[in-house]
Amino acid sequence: MQQRNFKQVDVFTATPYRGNPLAVVLDGSGVSDEEMQHFARWTNLSETTFLLPPGSDTADYRVRIFTPGGELPFAGHPTLGSCHAWLEAGGKPRGRDFIAQECKVGLVKIRRDNARLAFAAPPLKRSAPSPAVLAQVAAALGLKASQVIAAQTLDNGPAWLTLLVDSPQTVLKLSPNHLELKNLGHKVGVAAAYSGHERGTPDLEVRAFAAPIGITEDPVTGSLNASLAEWLIAEGHMPARYLAAQGTCLDRAGRVSIERDDSGQVWVGGASVTCISGSVAL
């Protein structure tokens, strides 16, 4: 083992301890897959990342992303939190306009907007879930069929079976059967739009349940919000720019900024703040 620089970053919040925490090992060189997974299980956070030298001349750094249950090809809050930690530790981007992060889905562009970062949502594959699977998931969530407006299976690296429901109150009152969701094998996202909200308040309420990978509820989920945005904007359920809230039921105040630019690219952004800096023996 050796001492490696380490940060714990809170993502999708400017207020410490109100977002989604991320463990970042700033030098993962020489750490085996098994050691990475063991450490991620030990931190017991939704994700732990390991930064590595890039594998190509077009990337600024490479990241590997682990949940307590396994490695992910891409995830949103680890993308923003890892980039925040890399920049804070003195990382210098090759390009003027973007930071280029290499991960298992390929290169992900990240742009700086003053103190905030936003990533370009990866390409999305989506399809309609079968009626039988949708009925099983809705039952595990405690939802009636009449409360579900639309549903899609969304995949931008991680796959989410996602439901748009009738009201934010429905989202906030959910008390899922997590064992049943785990047995069904689906990570599930649930969202609902606010109507008549005031400027600066959230437009969408989101919750994410990921029992199959060892996380009953994720506080704030970048990958889910990215795929939700691409689906909901394309289908006219949400405008091209909106603010999502997530983590309310976990006493968090996650805020995810969504913007689809003129080229059709969806950007997913938010603030990050470092809560712990030090070293870890790995």
Positions marked catalytic: 47
Q: Which position has the token pair 């980039």? A: 83
End-to-end Cα, the chain, rounded Å: 5
Alpha helices by DSSP H, listed for 2-124, are 33-43, 76-88
Using an 8 Å Cβ cutoff, are 82 and 48 in contact? Answer: no
Nearest-5° Cα angle at 87, 85 to 93: 140
Q: Which position has the token pair 């973007």? A: 98
What is the SS3 assignment for 237?
coil
Q: Which of 79, 73, 82, 203 is nearest to 125 (CA)?
A: 73
Q: Which of 124, 182, 122, 184 is nearest to 154 (CA)?
A: 124
Spatial distance between the Cα atoms of 191 and 206, rounded to a whole number of angstroms: 4
Using an 8 Å Cβ cutoff, are 178 and 216 in contact? Answer: yes
Q: Count CB-CB contacts under 10 A for residue 12.
A: 32
Distance of alpha carbon 81 from the chain centroid: 10
